[in-house]
């Protein structure tokens, strides 16, 4: 996702002076590194935090509340990870599909033609089409990688 963020940023500041593009990229890179990857690190360590809270030696109502909250975190972590994996996959299809569709002129015109026919639902249809394009591109890429791996294994035998 980082490469996509950089490309989007460059598209936004494409008409500005080079120094402004560089400064913008630095700010975005730092914000993404600290914000996104910090959040990801926190999510990955969520179950560890829950286990630490479950082992708390605190007493009384506060202690029970802390341990219960720890149990909730431990129980929620697998569901959260599975949900985020789905959301991340869909986001990658949408972003990748946008890049592919906008990078191939005939495909971009086809998407715009369908969107123009969609009336009030144009934005939703456009996002859906980008998602389909991204899924197809991902499927084709997976097939190509599998094919190359198969050929390499065959050549190595």
> pLDDT tens digits, residue range 59-102?
999 999 999 999 999 999 999 999 999 999 999 999 899 989 99
Computed over every residue of the chain, the mean pLDDT equals 92
- The pLDDT confidence band at residue 1, using thresholds 50, 70 and 90, is low
Total structural domains within the chain: 1
Per-residue pLDDT at 23:
94
Of the chain, the end-to-end C-alpha distance in Å amounts to 36
Task: Work out the burial of residue 151: count CB atoms within 10 Å of its CB; fewer than 13 is exposed, 13-18 middle, 19 or more buried.
Answer: exposed
Long-range residue pairs from 6-14, CB within 8 A, at least 24 positions apart, any chain? 7/99
Does 100 reside within a domain?
A: yes
Q: Which of 16, 4, 22 is nearest to 103 (CA)?
A: 4
- The pLDDT confidence band at residue 108, using thresholds 50, 70 and 90, is very high
Does 18 reside within a domain?
A: no
Structure letter (DSSP) for residue 32: I
Counted residue by residue, the chain has a size of 157
Rg (CA), the chain: 23
pLDDT beyond 90 at 146:
yes
Asked whether the beta carbons of 2 and 94 are under 8 A apart, the reply is: no
Does 29 reside within a domain?
A: no
Q: Report, as an integer, the average pLDDT of 127-143.
A: 96
For every residue of 99-125, DSSP letters joined together read HHHHHSHHHHHHHHHHHHTTGGGHHHH
Asked whether the beta carbons of 53 and 66 are under 8 A apart, the reply is: yes
pLDDT beyond 90 at 8:
no
**Within a 13 Å sphere around the CA of 43, how many CA atoms are in the beta-carbon half?**
14
Per-residue pLDDT at 35:
87
Does 152 reside within a domain?
A: yes
Does 58 reside within a domain?
A: yes
Per-residue pLDDT at 4:
76
Does 32 reside within a domain?
A: no
Does 1 reside within a domain?
A: no
Does 149 reside within a domain?
A: yes
- The whole domain housing 71 covers 45-156
Percent of the chain with pLDDT over 90: 74
């Amino acid at each position: 996702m980082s490469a996509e963020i950089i490309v989007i940023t460059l598209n936004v500041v494409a008409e500005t002076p080079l120094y402004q593009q560089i400064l913008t990229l630095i700010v975005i890179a730092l914000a993404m590194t600290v914000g996104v990857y910090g959040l990801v690190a926190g999510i990955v360590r969520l179950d560890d935090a829950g286990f630490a809270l479950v082992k708390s030696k605190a007493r009384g109502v506060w202690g029970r509340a802390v341990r219960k909250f720890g149990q909730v975190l431990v129980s929620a972590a697998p569901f959260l990870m599975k949900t985020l994996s789905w959301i991340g996959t869909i986001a990658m299809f949408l972003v990748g599909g946008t890049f592919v569709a906008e990078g191939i002129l005939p495909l971009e015109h086809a998407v715009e033609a369908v969107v123009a026919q969609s009336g009030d639902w144009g934005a939703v249809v456009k996002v859906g089409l980008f998602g389909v394009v991204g899924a197809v591109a991902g499927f084709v890429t997976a097939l190509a990688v599998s094919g190359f791996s198969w050929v390499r294994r065959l050549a190595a035998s």
